[in-house]
Chain A
Amino acid sequence: MGPKPIGLKILDILSIVLLLIATWMVFFYAPTEAVMGNVQRVFYFHVSTAWIGMLSFLVAAVAGIAYLVSKKTSWDIVEVSAVEIGIVFSLIAVASGSIWARPIWNTWWTWDPRLTTVTIMILIYAAYLLLRAGIDDPGRRARFGAVYAILGFLSVPLTFFSARLYRTIHPVVIGTNQPGATGAFDMTSDMRMVFFFSLFVFTLFFADLLWHRIRMGHLQERVEELKLQASEGTD
């Protein structure tokens, strides 16, 4: 593995600059929402982080399938990298959602389908990391991880659907709202622009993080190999 590739450097700088611009836009460009006021500004990054959470777990499941088909270690590294990033972003989405929910729903937490699903999703992928931590053999660790990443991702829509059969108060900003949703609003064109820009920036940021984490995974593997060689040399 050579020095940091030029593409990654460009992506680094792009992510930093665009994240700063997005932050500026959220606070100064986007109009203040009429009913909820400034707290609504959390919406832009809240949805973006939640989206990255889902995207990472999708990437992990796809990498899992690719690993089982090809048995290439690099797919295993993609999978575990995506899961780690996904957990972090899902936690950020939950935290930012709580900050929004406190003034609007008058509670930090409610058992709404989306909230329930994201909690169970975090639990699934925490279990995924525990499963991997309990296996020493790298081949077995990769196989079990792949199987569990696929199973976990398949259960997420079913969990969401089953929790949705209960009534919900979570607003659906894009698409039709269910009656009884609290905190819903219509986006103005300025809001929509900031929103889609945030989504785009976070997706770019996700690609950047994933690339870094994959590189780290490969380096880890290299260290293991060198350790093995060193121990063989001393024997």
Chain B
Amino acid sequence: MKSPSAELPAKKLAMRRPNPVGEFWRAMWAIVWKDMAAELRSRELLSAMLVFALTVILIFNFALDLDAKTRSTVTSGVLWVTFAFAGTLGLNRSMAMEKDRGCMDGLLLAPVDRAAIYFGKTIGNLIFMLIVEAIVLPVYSILYNTNLFNPGLILIILLGSIGYVAVGTLLAAMAVQTRTRDVLLPILLFPIAIPVFIAAVKGSTGFLQGIPMDEIMPWINLLVVYDIIFTAVAFMTFDFVVEE
């Protein structure tokens, strides 16, 4: 016969020691949610990234004389340079915001795993970057009368953005704590993110020009490997970057 008193201690124990994985997810999504809510109210990050991205595309239009002939070969290059620049802007801003208003100290004081802070910020930055990309792609398609809606291209953009943001969030957390702050992030980030750019540009061009899949596969593999390695290393070293 089961007595209600026998179940009680077990329940109490479960309440005192909550599931650590559940805690992690809750903390991570809380940070993502916080970034989204702050952005919804101010809209300063997304609007700056978007206007900047569109300006870059306009500059490329005149710098490269984007006519019908050159378009097909340079499209992915133009897109990735635009994403990289706009991404740097967003990464810098999202970390500077935490630093300036003393929010970072608050986050660090919270009794949560530091990795949850890293993944929360990374996912937040990834969402911003994907929103910018989701707006830039159709605009580019209309401006230059090319069809960029290709599932392969979207896969490459997703994989490339993950790698770029994973290492970018860590480096942005470092850059905002230095004297030269905003200037430093692109200098730190671009040389390390070169494999992402090479693979993403080649992969995107491959899909846009309809090159056979077995020639695009190495680039996709490279992006996946980069994403895994750098997410893992950033996750392991983030503690050292934010500790006081």
Interface residues of A (CB under 8 A from B): 68, 120, 123-124, 127, 130-131, 134-136, 140, 143-144, 146-148, 150-152, 154-155, 158-159, 161-163, 165
Contacts and interface: CB of A to CB of B under 8 A. Distances in A.
B187 A130 contact: yes
A135 B195 contact: no
A147 B237 contact: yes
Contacts of B177: 135, 140, 144
Contacts of A68: 237, 240
A127 B167 CA distance: 15
B233 A134 contact: no
B198 interface: yes
**Chain A interface helix/strand/loop/mixed:** helix
A131 B184 contact: yes
A131 B188 contact: yes
A143 B243 contact: yes
Given A134-B180, A140-B177, A154-B233, A124 B241 contact: no
B222 A158 contact: yes
Interface string B158-195: 00000000010011001001111100100110111111
A163 B198 contact: yes
B200 to A, nearest CB: 10
Residue among B167, B187, B240, B241 having the largest count of chain A Cβ atoms under 10 Å: B240
A161 B221 CA distance: 12
A165 B188 contact: no
Contact of A127 (B191, B219, B226): B191
Contacts of A155: 191-195, 230
Nearest to A136: B179
Residue among A127, A136, A151 having the largest count of chain B Cβ atoms under 10 Å: A151
A135 B177 CA distance: 8
B174 A130 contact: no
B240 A165 contact: no
22 contacts: A124-B192, A127-B184, A127-B191, A134-B181, A135-B178, A135-B179, A136-B179, A143-B241, A144-B174, A144-B178, A147-B241, A150-B237, A151-B167, A151-B192, A154-B229, A154-B230, A154-B233, A158-B222, A161-B195, A162-B195, A165-B218, A165-B222
A146 B179 contact: no
A162 B174 contact: no
Nearest to A130: B187
B212 to A, nearest CB: 15
Contacts of A143: 240-241, 243
A161 B174 CA distance: 27
Nearest to A119: B191
Q: How large is the interface on B (under 10, 10 to 19, 20 to 34, 35 or more residues)?
A: 20 to 34
B171 to A, nearest CB: 8
Contact of B195 (A134, A148, A152, A159): A159
Interface of B: 167, 170-171, 174, 177-181, 184, 187-188, 190-195, 198-199, 202, 218-219, 222, 225-226, 229-230, 233-234, 237, 240-241, 243
Nearest to B242: A143
B180 A148 contact: no
A131 B171 CA distance: 10
Contact of B226 (A131, A148, A158): A158
A123 B177 CA distance: 21
B146 to A, nearest CB: 25
Contacts of A165: 202, 218-219, 222
Contact of B222 (A135, A147, A161): A161
Contacts of B188: 127, 131, 148
A16 to B, nearest CB: 35
Contacts of A127: 184, 187-188, 191
Residue among A135, A140, A144, A163 having the largest count of chain B Cβ atoms under 10 Å: A144
Contacts of B179: 134-136
A170 B174 CA distance: 37
Given A135-B177, A147-B237, A154-B233, 7 more contacts: A127-B187, A127-B188, A135-B179, A136-B179, A140-B177, A152-B192, A154-B230
Given A120-B194, A161-B195, A131 B237 contact: no
Contacts of B174: 131, 144, 147-148
A127 B175 CA distance: 11
Nearest to B187: A127
A161 B194 CA distance: 11
